Amino acid sequence: MAETKQTNLYDLIHITPNSDGTFTRSPEFYPIVPPETNALSISKDVPLNPDKSTWVRIFLPRQSNKDKKLHIVVYVHGGGFVVGSAANPNYQDFCSYAASQLGALVVSVEYRLAPEHRLPAAYDDVLEALSWVKDGKDEWVKEYGDISSCILMGDSAGGNIVFQSGLMAAVKIDDFKPLNIKGLVLIQPFFSGLDRTGSELRLVNDPVLSLVVNDFFWELSLPVGANRGHEYSDPIKGGGSGSLDWVRDLGWRVWVVSSDGDPLYDRSVELVKLMEKRGLCVKNMFYEGGQHGMFVGNPSTYKAKELVDFVVGIFT
Give the residue numbers marked as catalytic. Answer: 156, 262, 292
3-state SS assignment for residue 78: coil
Helix spans in the chain (H)? 2-12, 89-102, 121-135, 139-144, 157-171, 198-202, 211-221, 244-250, 265-277, 304-311
In this structure, are residues 299 and 97 in contact, taking their beta carbons and an 8 Å threshold?
yes
Q: Amino acid identity of 176?
A: F
User: Of the candidates 132, 25, 20, 163, which has an alpha carbon nearest to the alpha carbon of residue 85?
Assistant: 25
Strands 104-110 and 54-61, bridge-based pairing? antiparallel
Q: Amino acid identity of 74?
A: V
Four-point Cα dihedral 15, 227, 295, 28, nearest 10: 0
In this structure, are residues 184 and 244 in contact, taking their beta carbons and an 8 Å threshold?
no
In this structure, are residues 129 and 161 in contact, taking their beta carbons and an 8 Å threshold?
no
In this structure, are residues 37 and 74 in contact, taking their beta carbons and an 8 Å threshold?
no
3-state SS assignment for residue 76: strand
In this structure, are residues 14 and 25 in contact, taking their beta carbons and an 8 Å threshold?
yes
